[in-house]
Structure 1
Amino acid sequence: MGGDSSGYKDYVAGLLAGVATVITGHPFDTVKVKLQKHNTEANGIKYRGGLHCTARILKTEGVKGLYRGATSSFVGMAFESSLLFGIYSQAKQSLQGQYQSGKPQPQVIIPSAAFGGAIISFVLCPSELVKCRMQVQGTDTLVVNSNRYSSPIDCALKTVKSEGVTGIFRGGFTTLLRESLGNAVFFSTYEYVRFRMHLHLNDASSDPAHLIDVGVGIMSGGLGGIAFWSAVLPLDVAKTIIQTSSDRSSTRNPFQILKSIYRGSGLSGCYMGLGPTVVRAFPANAAAIVTWELAVKMLGIRQD
């Protein structure tokens, strides 16, 4: 990625990538959030695993239960993805002038991705707080029946009313850590896998170039997504607990929360929701990258 990026087009391509991510990944995300909330509580395991949790949601709420909280996710993810890909492309372009090379440059990719991740965390934190609070409520008899919010807007308004404007930014520090570190890992993996695959496939394959590009996009985006979540899932577990806690005085220190989870449930507790997260990470991020790269081509942005 790079070359002569043209301002707003980078952001439009990112927006389309965000929409593709939500359509593909939101059901897995709902399962992940329910596991993180209800399986880390002191009174024990509510769900036996990702499949059991999915089956419970489908049984009690149908398919719409898997897309609970998707409205705020669509708005948040479209805006956030637009910013992330746009900032990453622009920052990378401005840094790349110093390092002219066809190979991926970690000294360009890592700061560009971490900067983009830090900026989007301010957009992502409120939208994820609303999404998570919507996702953990429901009609499943295994957990306390709580339908405190009738819609994402109702959730946001009630949160602000009871906790003040800062309440909607609960978990902001943890979100910033997750996004800056996670995106540095994601884009490094994506750029490196993309570079290595193009190197081998362009020499060895007689398939049309667009088929190669789609295949490379699927693999590099999918593996990038798995790398992202493998690196930052414990921070995500802490973020879910911080954002869905009904106790306003509970700690917002992610390391303190992870320490207490580790004491109670070991390492597996810190990686709660790993199954649906990894299953979601590949198709959702593959869809995002393929959509992004396709949009970049259609909008006429040059790629290196």
Structure 2
Amino acid sequence: MEASPLPSPATEDSITIRAMKDIAFGSTAGICSKVFEHPFDLTKVRLQAQVLDATARFSGPLDCLAQTWRKEGVRGLYRGLPAPIVGAMAENATLFWTYTEIQNTLRWSLGTPDLSLRQLACAGAGAGAVTSFVLTPIELVKCKMQVQMLIAPTSSAPLPGPLAVLAGVVRDTGLRGLWLGHTGTLLRETGGGAAWFAAKEGVAGVLLRRRGLAPTARGELRAWESAAAGACAGVAYNVALFPADTVKSAMQTEAELRGPRAGGGRATFAGTARDMWRKGGLRGLYAGCGITVARAVPSSALIFIIYDGLSKRFS
């Protein structure tokens, strides 16, 4: 039977409504997951940032969490949260919206209503690449705020907030400086987006087939199935290109932790990666990976429970 091509995008209203739903559902899912996972993300960034230090401040993730709690309390565990909240809204809204639109473009160009897992992975990679441009400035501010207490832990002066950090970056390095570490974000989000969506779609398809349903019947997913598929997606995303994230975090916190470079040179992705490899080897490039994967399981499961649930409820 001949596959029917994607309907022509005739009604702007339907396109707009679909985009608004993706943005709203993605933003909601992102906010909820970020509040849950932020202390673990803070731990990851602090572990990544110390790889190039002469002496490590923390012996591991549990030590980092314990020291942060002891010295900074609950407020310390959630230091820098406003930036990732905005980032989670922007990231997930852009990610889900772009993923849907790339899928629709592929269906229209290929003349088929169904896409293979490889094609869905390509859509995820494209969505991740687009999202990286939105995410890099937000992650830059977040990372800088997450290492503030490592610079002057006993200072009584108030620490700069996200807007002050943002203004400082623009003042010192111009608008271009907001995309410091973008190569790492681009690599992570492109490869991670492909792995994230492919793992979710693949596991969801297996679970649907177990119930005798077509793997494309995404609206029939039960909450636990969305959670299981999302959990697998979280692991796939973080394992795929974690070293790129480590290098990115080191670049974005270098000025705070190690001061300006000699001669005023600008950090590069390749140069930072080379330095980190020499200093810590493969273990250094995967600093913080364990706790990141551990928090990604419930966090990613939560994202897809919320996104799939809202999509099903308001379809």
TM-score with structure 2 setting the length: 0.84
Deviation at 1:107, TM superposition (A): 3.8
Equivalences for 1:232-247 in 2 at 5 Å? 232-246=241-255, 247=260
Equivalences for 1:265-284 in 2 at 5 Å? 265-284=280-299
Where in structure 2 are there 5+ consecutive unaligned residues?
1-5, 8-13
Deviation at 1:230, TM superposition (A): 0.6
Which residue matches 2:3?
none
SS at match of 2:149: coil
AA partner of residue 241 (structure 2): V
Which residue matches 2:40?
28
Instruction: Please state if 1:197 is matched with 2:212.
Output: no
| In 2: Cα distance, 1:42 partner to 1:28 partner | 21
Task: Tell me, yes or no, if the aligned pair for 2:204 and 2:221 is still in contact at 8 Å.
Answer: no
| In 1: Cα distance, 2:238 partner to 2:154 partner | 29
AA partner of residue 15 (structure 1): S
Task: Tell me, yes or no, if the aligned pair for 2:91 and 2:131 is still in contact at 8 Å.
Answer: yes
Change (3 A) 1:48 1:270: same
Deviation at 1:57, TM superposition (A): 0.6
Change (3 A) 1:146 1:165: farther
Task: Tell me, yes or no, if the aligned pair for 1:28 and 1:276 is still in contact at 8 Å.
Answer: yes
1:219 to 228, 238, 244: 228
> Aligned-residue CA RMSD in angstroms?
2.7
1:231 to 240, 265, 274: 240
Which residue matches 1:9?
21
1:93 to 95, 104, 107: 104
SS at match of 2:55: coil
Change (3 A) 1:250 1:68: farther
| In 2: Cα distance, 1:254 partner to 1:285 partner | 27
| In 2: Cα distance, 1:147 partner to 1:219 partner | 45
CA offsets per residue over residues 166-191 of structure 1, 9 Å max, x none?
Answer: 11211122211211111011111111
Instruction: Please state if 1:156 is matched with 2:171.
Output: no
| In 1: Cα distance, 2:265 partner to 2:295 partner | 30
AA partner of residue 230 (structure 1): V
AA partner of residue 312 (structure 2): K
Q: Percent identity, aligned pairs only? A: 31
Equivalences for 1:1-304 in 2 at 5 Å? 6-38=18-50, 40-97=51-108, 98=110, 100=112, 105-138=116-149, 149-200=159-210, 202-203=211-212, 213-246=222-255, 247=260, 249-300=264-315
Deviation at 1:130, TM superposition (A): 0.3
CA offsets per residue over residues 113-171 of structure 1, 9 Å max, x none?
Answer: 11111111111111100000000111688x89797842111110111111211112111
Larger CA Rg, structure 1 vs 2: 2
| In 2: Cα distance, 1:27 partner to 1:76 partner | 15
AA partner of residue 35 (structure 2): I
Change (3 A) 1:181 1:197: same
CA offsets per residue over residues 60-118 of structure 1, 9 Å max, x none?
Answer: 1111211111101111210221010011012112313437476x613421221111111
Task: Tell me, yes or no, if the aligned pair for 1:114 and 1:183 is still in contact at 8 Å.
Answer: yes
SS at match of 1:7: helix
CA offsets per residue over residues 189-238 of structure 1, 9 Å max, x none?
Answer: 111011112212x259xxxx999611111111111111111111100010
Task: Tell me, yes or no, if the aligned pair for 1:56 and 1:140 is still in contact at 8 Å.
Answer: no
TM-score with structure 1 setting the length: 0.87
AA partner of residue 136 (structure 2): C
Task: Tell me, yes or no, if the aligned pair for 1:125 and 1:172 is still in contact at 8 Å.
Answer: yes
| In 2: Cα distance, 1:54 partner to 1:177 partner | 28
AA partner of residue 90 (structure 2): F
SS at match of 2:287: coil
Where in structure 1 are there 5+ consecutive unaligned residues?
none
